[in-house]
Amino acid sequence: MKPQIAATDWQPTIAAIRSARLIALITHRNPDGDGIGSQLGLYHALKQLGKKVIMHNRDGVPRIYGFLEGAAEIGRGNWDETAEQPDVIISLDCGSRSRLGMPEAFFSGATLINIDHHASNSRFGDINVIDAAYCATGAMISDLLIALGITMNAAMARPIYAAILTDTASFRLNSADAGVYRLAADLVEAGAEPWPICMEVYESRSLAGLRLLSECLATLTLRDDGRSAWIYVTHDMYGRTGADVEDTEGLIDYARGMQGVEVAVFIRNDDGADCWKLSFRGKTTADVGSLAAGLGGGGHRHASGCMLRGTLSEIEARVQKAVSDLFA
């Protein structure tokens, strides 16, 4: 296999891995396919090296990634402060330390390695490998495995394939260049089966999830002369449909998918009535990464998000102004 980016300097990361006693792999809150896939791909590689490795996500693993080998090993919820303390922590696909959702005690005394492809990454690690030229953090893990001299097996290839599949929106984004397709081919040769993985990730919506989709689409409004599309999910919709936050994955793509829409905005209730998670998607020229950064969040040029507190009408007014400024 050829690396995606041969110039990436993995040596500080490799030195820390080689001397580590206990390595902890973590990713961001509300983890996605790239976070989970990177975590599991690296987990199987480090186990093969004979390393002692744990995984912990504050929010666990979304159901659609539960089929991946090792997913059940990922710890969830609050960190047990009496547990053995890792001496090396590897943060994957996470742009800021606070988004990991882990307590200070978890980090104490450990070397923190920050591997990510978000341009907005705050470089919070002791070792930072940050490169927005990668389509996914999973592609960075593939390069790290090459640098470590590890041969990709199926247990590593499947989660890394899932990471790249989901972060390139099924190889549809511009980030899916020829090198990414070559990597996908290598992963398939190593044992990642495209259709079974696709079925688990994209073809396993629950009835409750589809009912939530129906309610969510009913909230669609067009603003900015049809250039922005807005959709919502509120707590009462979960109550009526039986769906949960995991069922909101991908809903925003329906809003972006409309002809003439440049920016899609998805607003959903988070924990607490006055807490809102906002997601943004851009279609062509609009830079929603800067939009989210201006609202205290972050992300990529075409996909980003932030958290805001307040009443829904306050949030809407603030975000509407920021979105309209994109078109000014």
- Site residues, Mn ion (CB under 5 A): 34, 93, 137, 167
Closest CB to Mn ion among residues 167, 215: 167
Minimum gap (Å) between residue 32 Cβ and Mn ion: 7
Closest CB to Mn ion among residues 56, 117: 117
Q: What length is written for the chain?
A: 328
Closest CB to Mn ion among residues 168, 269: 168
Closest CB to Mn ion among residues 130, 146: 130
Give the C-alpha distances (Å, rounded to integers) separating 259 from 33, 303, 318.
27, 18, 25
Minimum gap (Å) between residue 167 Cβ and Mn ion: 4
**Helix crossing, 154-167 with 178-189: angle to 10°?**
150
- Write the DSSP assignment of 6-59 as a string of letters: TT---HHHHHHHHH-SSEEEEE-SS--HHHHHHHHHHHHHHHHTT--EEEEETT
Nearest CA to 49 out of 77, 13, 96 is that of 13
Closest CB to Mn ion among residues 169, 322: 169
User: How do 228-233 and 221-223 pair as beta strands?
Assistant: antiparallel
Minimum gap (Å) between residue 14 Cβ and Mn ion: 22
Minimum gap (Å) between residue 300 Cβ and Mn ion: 8
d(CA 162, CA 184): 10
Minimum gap (Å) between residue 119 Cβ and Mn ion: 11
The answer to whether residues 96 and 122 touch, using CB atoms and an 8 Å cutoff, is yes
Closest CB to Mn ion among residues 157, 229: 157
Minimum gap (Å) between residue 34 Cβ and Mn ion: 3
Largest CA distance in the chain: 58
Q: What residues are paired with 115 via a beta bridge?
A: 92, 129
Q: Please identify the residue of the shown chain whose CB is closest to the bound Mn ion.
A: 34
Minimum gap (Å) between residue 30 Cβ and Mn ion: 13
Closest CB to Mn ion among residues 128, 137: 137
User: How do 111-116 and 263-269 pair as beta strands?
Assistant: unpaired
